[in-house]
Structure 1
Amino acid sequence: MMGSSFEQFVSPYCLGTPLIAMALARPWMLYPTPSSRWIKNRLITAQDCFINRSTKQLMIPLSKEGHKCALLLTSVMMFIITMNMLGLLPYTFTPTTQLSLNIGFAVPLWLATVIMGIRNQPTLALGHLLPEGTPIRLMPVLIIMETISLFIRPLALGVRLTANLTAGQLLMQLIATAVFVLLPIIPTVAFLTAAVLLLLTLLEVAVAIMQAYVFVLLLSLYLQENT
């Protein structure tokens, strides 16, 4: 049972070819092309409204120098949201449940913020490793601890996204299995369990959106420290 439950997180193959590349390219195929017309359709209008509001919210804590990364941060957020949402459909694969993929997103983006800080303001960037007023005896220990916490950031980004999506989808599959098992035995309990599954699905939709937003929000906070 446990082995079959975790099979949904295995990268699919077709004729020996991994399909994760197709899963990564799938989100961009679904977005409508922006129109140059003054009056747009409802889908493009809703998409523009969501992107504009999300971008404004992400740019609030950033300085003007950090606003140059608005397009990158918004693109990453929309990409992760779409992959998370599509992964909730039946017979689909969620690439963001793979820790290797999330780390591959987190490390380059985090490293870019660190390099940007060292290039633009090296004194302030290195000053985060040693807060002002630290006793001399604690300086070596504090520098080591701050350095470790700095390098843990991309790992925490990837693990947070992976753990939340994996736990939610695994719980949905376990409850769905319980519904099918209880349906011929105790139909009343099965219908109540199905209602719980519906509520959990709605919660998972919210989690899929929030985790993508939190991922990019933490990146914007890291960017704020280095701009």
Structure 2
Amino acid sequence: MILNFFDQFATPYTLGIPLMLIALLVPTLLIMISPRLTPNRLVAMQTLTMKNFIKQLMSPLNTEGHKHAALLLTLMLYLLLLNLLGLLPYTFTPTTQLAMNMGFALPLWLMTIIIGLRNQPTMALGHLLPLGTPTPLIPILIIIETVSLFIRPIALGVRLTANLTAGHLLMQLISTAVFVLLPIMPTISIITFIILLLLTLLEFAVAMIQAYVFILLVSLYLQENV
């Protein structure tokens, strides 16, 4: 029983066992890997889509950054499936948990920083002070750029969490309005239901876009450090 609208974002338990682990393992079972020499049409379409995505994602990066293509592609597919599966009835969306999203964002951000400090430390530290900065503004700009640098993983995690949470919460509010209005104002209830269907389609788009935006921002951070 849902006591309030935010209970849907609480991690469900069965016999004292958190179902978060099952929700995190399910997407890995849905990625089709064909053992045949000649794949079928579905696998071929999946391979072509992944190829075009990684080509578009890696085009701004130099050769040094291409070695991380497999990591970004895998994470993109994983987040995409997690977001989409969370829109199914009686399911749980792990990506509405800020702690889990920060668990993705923080290591990836730290990876880009370490790569920059290892490969080109001068350029990596040079981002903290833009070229041509007046001398009196140097300390202030260094502080601002440092804060901006350390706030990146927080922005990554909060953006993904906030967008998915807001969409799920809005769907919950509108669906509740449909059931409440159905006995007293059937016409308004039908109109509200149509709005709910359109919002559901929008949420499918948001689920895909947010997974793409997350990986795109990580690739941009990586681009600055390779």
Same fold (TM over 0.5): yes
Query: CA offset at residue 115 of structure 1?
Result: 0.2
Shift of 1:82: 0.2
**1: distance between equivalents of 2:40 and 2:179?**
41
Please tell me whether residue 223 in structure 1 is matched to residue 222 in structure 2.
yes
Match of 1:44 in 2: 43
Equivalent residue, structure 1, for 2:146: 147
Query: 1:202 Cα shift?
Result: 0.4
What does residue 33 of structure 2 align with?
33
How far apart are 1:37 and its partner, in Å? 2.2
Match of 1:114 in 2: 113
Secondary structure, in 3 states, of the residue corresponding to 2:214? helix
Match in the other structure for 1:10? 10
Which residue of structure 2 aligns with residue 200 of structure 1?
199
Deviation of residue 3 (structure 1)? 4.9
Equivalent runs, 1:118-137 vs 2, <5 Å: 118-137=117-136
CA distance in structure 2 between the partners assigned to 1:56 and 1:206 by the alignment: 22
**Seq. identity, %:** 63
**Aligned equivalents of 1:77, 1:146: Cα separation in 2:** 28
Cross-structure match for 2:179? 180
Counterparts of 1:35 and 1:42 in 2: how far apart (Å)? 14
Distance 2:189 2:126 in 1: 59
**Cα distance in 2 between the residues matched to 1:83 and 1:118:** 33
Match of 2:102?
Answer: 103
1: distance between equivalents of 2:109 and 2:86?
Answer: 25
Q: Which runs of 4+ in 1 moved over 4 A?
A: none
- Aligned residues: CA RMSD: 1.3
Q: For structure 2, which runs of at least 5 residues remain unmatched after alignment?
A: none
| AA in 1 matched with 2:91 | T
Deviations 1:16-69 (A, max 9, x none): 11111111111001122234422x223212211221111111111111110000
- Take 1:199 and 1:99, find their aligned partners in 2: how far apart are those partners? 27
TM-score by length of 2: 0.97
Residue 137 of structure 1, CA deviation: 0.9
Q: Secondary structure at the match of 1:65?
A: helix
Distance in 1 separating the partners of 2:180 and 2:48: 44
The letter of the residue matching 1:73 is L
Cα distance in 2 for residues equivalent to 1:154 and 1:134: 26
CA distance in 2, matches of 1:54, 1:35: 23
Letter in 1 for 2:50: I
Aligned equivalents of 2:11 and 2:66: distance in 1? 36
Q: Which runs of 5+ in 1 are unaligned?
A: none
Number of aligned residues = 226
* Residues in 1 aligned to 2:120 and 2:90: alpha-carbon distance in whole angstroms: 49
Instruction: Give the 3-state SS of the residue equivalent to 1:32 in structure 2.
Output: coil
Moved more, 41-50 or 132-141: 41-50
State the match for 1:157 in structure 2. 156
CA distance in 1, matches of 2:59, 2:172: 38
Shift of 1:73: 0.4
TM-score by length of 1: 0.97
